[in-house]
A and B are shown apart, each in its own frame.
Chain A
Amino acid sequence: MTVSTERSVLPGFGLTVGYTTFFLSAVVLLPLSAMIIKASSISHGAFIKLLLDPEVVASYKISFGTSFLAAVINSIFGFAIAWTLTRYDFAGRKFLDALIDLPFALPTAVSGIALTAVFAPHGWLGLQLASIGIKVVYTWIGITVALTLIGMPFVVRAVQPALAEVQRDIEDAAETLGAGRFTIFRRIIFPTILPSLLTGFAMAFARGIGEYGSVVFISGNLPMQTEITPLLIVKRLEEYKYVDAAALGCIMLGMSFVLLLSINLLQAWSRRRLFVGRRS
């Protein structure tokens, strides 16, 4: 470890690292370790058995599948919203901008109840969708809808500053060189904001995997069909199977970590392409 000797506004390196380690340990590392220790009391064979339990496997599929889908949807529409907010000036823009953050602040249970009310077979949207044969509540579609709502602000807030930084001059330059709108978007704007879009995607995805409150109401928690992993963990806890719950948590932790790490690496790679040489 190299110690920076440059002066900075915050107190010395030792103190900063000390505080960082302490808080990280108390709030993140210790609880996680406790969970892993708890889970390790289970035997190898039992662990594998638990891992391959059909109900568990189904819950992983649902959790990761719907989270991924929601993150993809968010990447597309979140980008569109960010574009609208940065590029156009219209009445109510500030208002809309503030509205984006609402899902951050709302208790997730409230979002869940609201969504269920709207998408229930007799709700405003549910009624319309039912007439064309789409059932939202108690299906994976409902879970995706809930996770989309929860993850939206992450993408918008990640992409917005990057879009604001794309200079109009660059688009002007491309235009005088003969590029049409689509080419400018595909070859100039999109590659420039890709790292930020990936960040937003990763955050929305991570949030989706961990989400619990908004999903329980709309999913109906049917085993093998709409049971997400966090719910399964709660279920095990209610059955007093603490070790099983901890083991499930560990597996989830591991998979999430691997996924997020790979997205981060991808993002770092694309960012390096863009900003290499900055520090020389």
Chain B
Amino acid sequence: MSITLDQITKRYQNTPVVNDVSLDVGDGEFFVLLGASGSGKSTLLRAIAGLTGVDHGRISLHGRDVTHISPRKREVGLVFQNYALFKHMSVADNIEFALRVRRVKAAERRARRKELLRLVALEGMDDRLPTQLSGGQQQRVAVARALAHKPQVLLMDEPFGALDAKIREELRRTIREVQRELRISTILVTHDQEEAFALADRIGVMNLGRLLEVGRPEELYARPATRFVATFLGAANLLLGRQTADGIRVGTTPVTAPINSMWDQRTMQREHEVVAVLRPEEVALAPTRDELATLYLGTGVVESTMFTGAYERLRVRMTEAGTIASGDGEQANDKHHLATLDVTRSQHDQRLLPLTPGQSVAVGVRRIHVLPTPLSSYVVYGKTDAQVESLQTHPFLVELANRMKTRVTTQLEPQLGSRSRALPGQGPLAGVAVIHTSNHTAAELEWLLRHGASEVLLLPAGNVQPRRVLIHWTGETVRHATLAVAASMLRHVAAEATYLNIIPSQSETQKAEGMRELLDARSTAQTTHGLEMRTELRFGEVAGELSRQLQSSNEQMLILGITDMDDIQDRFAAIFKHPHCPVLLVFREQHRD
């Protein structure tokens, strides 16, 4: 491995901007870090170059630990968005700078310079000053300069950001060729997904300081694991569907989709809500249902059409009430939760079926992908209208739903918290149940779990900004589910994750067992759920230790997995009584057989 990052964390004013990032980049690999501005991708690149220190973690280049080595001695080449050329020096002097610093002989310098200028297609420009060159040429000089001292890795920070489209494409090709020819391990940072697709051997997508997913471009596009990657890499319609015993349904339509979530086999057998990704190009339109050659999704009305050259882009509003629930936050206020689908069609399809706004069409699906995320949507519960309303506008919940692009629905439940038995035959609750914390939290929790909720979010009044998320579970049954929920939650909250394992005593055998569990948990989180987390071993009684940890700061959140409903009253009553931090409870019942 030529670039290895191990749990890199960088904080500014206590907020992690780079959050537990681990990554391996292979020899000669072209790796693209993709993310919106503020996602932490540039900070990570600067950390690799040594221009920014890290608060935690290790960086090694070609097996050499460089975490505490100055940028001068890291042997990296860095290319900046604004070229950062030395304006008072000629092209030749710019390129030879690194060699001059290393006291390389003039003849050798000259030969290297000629070779580099040929590589970036700027032969004969030696004596020009940077100000006499175009933007594209300046960036070529910057690339040549960064390669002069034969660095072990090449780092590029939005190198095409300041260039216009035509030149961008030309330079992109040059950089790809240079990288191939030199076989130098490269990390390029960009916010442009097209650029990422064009250049990358592998792409890593960052958001809120976390590296969400890493994979080959076509893999990430076809089978994203997270909402963010699904919507950031290309366009996507997010739909809420149901996982039932005989497959996945979107609306009333059974959609045979491959189930690629392995994290919770038991959950897959239970009926529950799922988030499905429908790419605009995978939507088929036909005049009637019978003429659809694909699975039927429902009927809709064309809202708008837009000609974009090779493709036509349409928006189609689904008309059958209750058939398709949108997973898209934009439509969260629509009282029927009817989805509006983005559709793209080829020229060929356009000729077969010309469409104008207002026309009614049958909508079909060619391929649908189900995200392995356990957090699909939020349902706010309350005994009174006022309760429901105040909770629905809770800043933390609103922000969370926005980031997850999901909806928040409300459910008025006067019986909430009462001792009434669950009605027989009532199906499981969809989505994450949300309640306010109060004196009756424990009773309300029990009521929700008895009525089929598997995830409940407890929110204290007022705004909360968790910077640290504590993760704990009480039994093996709920371990995977808790990790999956934590992974999903942490993609949308800029907080550091810590798994707490709490063991009763400090005896040597228990300690060893505890440590083994920590390592186990970390590797499962990493490999199965794509979650990087810290681990801590604590001693003492579980509930007491957890509340002690929660007391230490207000900027925390607890994700707690339990397997026994009675634990709420018997063991964790203290935690649920008046938590000042949000608590996300994950419940999977232990089978007693």
Contact = CB atoms under 8 A, between A and B. Distances in A.
Contact of B84 (A172, A274, A276, A278): A172
Given A169-B82, A276-B129, A277-B131, A177 B149 contact: yes
Interface residues of B, number: 31
B515 to A, nearest CB: 40
A89 B58 CA distance: 30
B82 A167 contact: yes
Interface centre among B49, B72, B131, B145 (most CB of A within 10 A): B72
A188 B100 CA distance: 13
Nearest to B78: A176
Given A167-B82, A180-B72, A174 B132 contact: no
B391 to A, nearest CB: 43
B101 interface: yes
Interface string B129-153: 1011000000000100110110000
A222 to B, nearest CB: 46
A172 B71 CA distance: 9
B101 A176 contact: no
Contacts of B71: 172, 175-176
B97 interface: yes
A31 B80 CA distance: 55
Interface string A172-213: 111111111001000110011000000000000000000000
B131 A178 contact: no
Contacts of B87: 192, 274-275
B82 A191 contact: no
Nearest to B77: A176
A177 to B, nearest CB: 4
A173 B46 CA distance: 11
A173 B101 contact: no
B32 to A, nearest CB: 20
B97 A177 contact: yes
A169 B70 CA distance: 16
Given A173-B78, A276-B131, A178 B102 contact: yes
B521 interface: no
Contacts of A180: 72, 101
Interface in A130-185: 167, 169-170, 172-180, 183
Contact of B76 (A176, A179, A277): A176
A172 B51 contact: yes
Contacts of B88: 191-192, 273-274
A224 B380 CA distance: 94
Given A169-B80, A188-B86, A177 B131 contact: no
Nearest to A195: B88
Interface in B54-86: 70-74, 76-78, 80, 82, 84-86
A278 to B, nearest CB: 6
A240 to B, nearest CB: 55
Contacts of A273: 88, 129
B98 interface: yes
Contact of A183 (B46, B101, B142): B101
Interface string A265-280: 0000000011111100
Contacts of B86: 170, 173-174, 187-188
Interface in B467-521: none
Nearest to B151: A176
A179 B94 CA distance: 13
B128 to A, nearest CB: 9
A177 B82 contact: no
A175 B51 contact: yes
Q: Which 3 A-B pairs have the closest CB atoms?
A: A177-B98, A169-B84, A277-B131
15 contacts: A170-B84, A172-B80, A172-B84, A176-B76, A177-B101, A178-B101, A178-B102, A179-B97, A180-B101, A192-B87, A273-B88, A274-B87, A274-B88, A275-B87, A277-B132
